[in-house]
Amino acid sequence: MLFPYILNLFLYFPEDKREYIPAAITCTLFLIAAILTMRLIIKVSKYQEEKAKQFEEQLRKEKIIQDEQ
């Protein structure tokens, strides 16, 4: 009984749908930023993985670490 009244305090659906435009733009910008950030993280991670493999191979050649058996 009190639930619909409480929901009306937090939910707002404007009559003028142009009020949704700034929210859509902001949401789109944050979505693009999140995608670009994720791609950057993946690219850096792959670069670090390759460097670690090279370092591991260098250590194996110098016999500092032994092959797993």
Digitized pLDDT (tens) for each residue of the chain, 69 residues in all: 677 777 777 777 788 999 899 999 999 999 999 999 999 999 999 999 999 999 999 988 888 777 765
Residue-range definition of the domain harbouring residue 50: 44-69
Separation CA 32–CA 39 (nearest Å): 11
With respect to residue 57, please indicate whether it lies within any of the assigned structural domains: yes
pTM: 0.66
Q: In this structure, is residue 52 part of a structural domain?
A: yes
Do 65 and 59 form a contact (C-beta atoms < 8 A)?
A: yes
Q: How many domains, in total, are found in the chain?
A: 1
Q: Do the Cβ atoms of 20 and 14 come closer than 8 Å?
A: yes
Query: Is residue 60 domain-resident?
Result: yes
Question: Which of 29, 48, 64, 11 minimizes the C-alpha distance to 3?
Answer: 11
* 67 in a structural domain: yes
